[in-house]
Structure 1
Amino acid sequence: MEHDAALLSSSEIDRIGRRIGRPLVLVGMMGVGKTTVGRKLASLLHVPFVDADEEIERAAHMPIPEIFATYGEPYFRDGERRVIARLMGTGRNTDRKVLSTGGGAFCDPATRALILERGIAVWLDSDVDTLVERVGRKDNRPLLKTGNPREILTRLKDEREPFYAQAPIHMTSGAQPHQVTASKILRAIDQWL
């Protein structure tokens, strides 16, 4: 079976994991699966998983849609930048972890530079049809409340891809099991290191 061939053995995962000495940072569009795949990667590597959006909500004491509604996107992006900088650590304090970022985080020049300097950025990508289907499952996406989700996602994807493309690892997230995507990411990182 194709999926079985894509899976890594536990010894392969351990070997690759020992080579990763900094945070793995998942970047990409909303709905691409950064949180779900990130949790799987963290589990495989036996490292903490951190969702930047959850940390932003914790720091702000309010959900992201409320931050957007109350203060606007620039305020949110500023807080996002600070939270991700804290999560990435400083100097030698860049603990191994898997960090899932919000869809726009990697578009910020300072955040992108920090991630590229201190982490291993993995661009998780998907087609617009898949994104539309996935984001339709939740009603917590502030950027999609202003119009047609397909049109907004298409526009955002076009605008953001040049930034995402700066990540050294690019992986497509499709219908395959998350374990397969995680294994493919680890193989790509192993080749990149």
Structure 2
Amino acid sequence: MPIADNIILVGPMGVGKSTIGRILASLSSREFKDTDHVIEARTGANIPWIFDVEGEEGFRTRESSVLKELVEQPQLVIATGGGIVTQSINRSLLQQQNCVVYLTASLEDLIKRTCRDKKRPLLQVGNPEQRIKELMSTRDPLYREVCSLVVSTESKSPKQVAEKIIQLSQQL
């Protein structure tokens, strides 16, 4: 495995960060953490409820706090929320001795995987497809700014993606 303390998965909603993260943790003998799940466990509320009550800004504050705590722990695989890169403090935290993997998929694939999902607050708009395109246009450069590796999830099983991450991270 790489010298990095943690392997952190970033990328858009619906790309498979949580699923791939669990498999990657198992294959690399690391503990798995999902920033969204940690937030939900601590607040006793789901992400859509937090967005409704506190707004995106309140959620992002909670997300930054959880990320700061997790990156200080060794040997984790961390799946992050799709918007974690929108905060400059998070981008700094991500780049500190971590192997950050940007998981990618085509816009068509992302739309197919997420457009009917009612648990994604940012997609509860009139045109979810257009919203995904907008999010990707602003977030793609940020994902690329923080990542050590870019790995496509297109036409691969989650296990194949996890194995690819291990293979590539050993070459860093």
Q: State the TM-score bracket (shorter-chain normalisation).
A: over 0.9
- In the alignment, is residue 61 of structure 1 matched against residue 40 of structure 2? no
2:153 alignment partner in structure 1:
173
The structure-2 alpha-carbon separation of the partners of 1:148 and 1:137, relative to structure 1 and needing over 3 Å to count, comes to closer
Q: How far 1:136 sits from its partner (Å)?
A: 3.8
Aligned residue type for 1:50:
K
The 2-side partners of 1:172 and 1:28 are apart by 10
Q: How far 1:20 sits from its partner (Å)?
A: 4.1
Corresponding residue to 2:33 among 41, 47, 50: 50
SS of the residue corresponding to residue 174 of structure 1 reads: coil
Q: Give unmatched runs, 5+ long, in structure 1.
A: 1-15
2:53 alignment partner in structure 1:
70
SS of the residue corresponding to residue 29 of structure 1 reads: coil
2:133 alignment partner in structure 1:
154
The 2-side partners of 1:186 and 1:20 are apart by 12
TM-score of the superposed pair, with normalisation by structure 2: 0.94
1:187 alignment partner in structure 2:
167
Q: How far 1:154 sits from its partner (Å)?
A: 0.5
The 2-side partners of 1:191 and 1:23 are apart by 15
Contact 1:20 1:96 in 2 (8 A): no
Q: Give unmatched runs, 5+ long, in structure 2.
A: none
2:62 alignment partner in structure 1:
79
User: Rg: which structure is higher?
Assistant: 1
Q: How far 1:101 sits from its partner (Å)?
A: 0.2
1:5 alignment partner in structure 2:
none
1:116 alignment partner in structure 2:
95
1:98 alignment partner in structure 2:
77
Aligned residue type for 1:55:
V
- Which stretch shifts more, 19-28 or 77-86? 19-28
Corresponding residue to 2:18 among 27, 35, 47: 35
The 2-side partners of 1:183 and 1:101 are apart by 19
1:13 alignment partner in structure 2:
none
* Percentage identity across paired residues of the two chains: 35
1:128 alignment partner in structure 2:
107
Residue deviations 1:104-130 (CA, integer Å, cap 9, x gap): 002211011111114211100111111
The 1-side partners of 2:115 and 2:137 are apart by 20
SS of the residue corresponding to residue 25 of structure 1 reads: strand
> How many pairs align?
171
Q: How far 1:83 sits from its partner (Å)?
A: 0.8
Aligned residue type for 2:85:
F
Contact 2:4 2:99 in 1 (8 A): no
The structure-2 alpha-carbon separation of the partners of 1:147 and 1:20, relative to structure 1 and needing over 3 Å to count, comes to farther
* Structure 1: 4+ residue segments shifted above 4 A: none
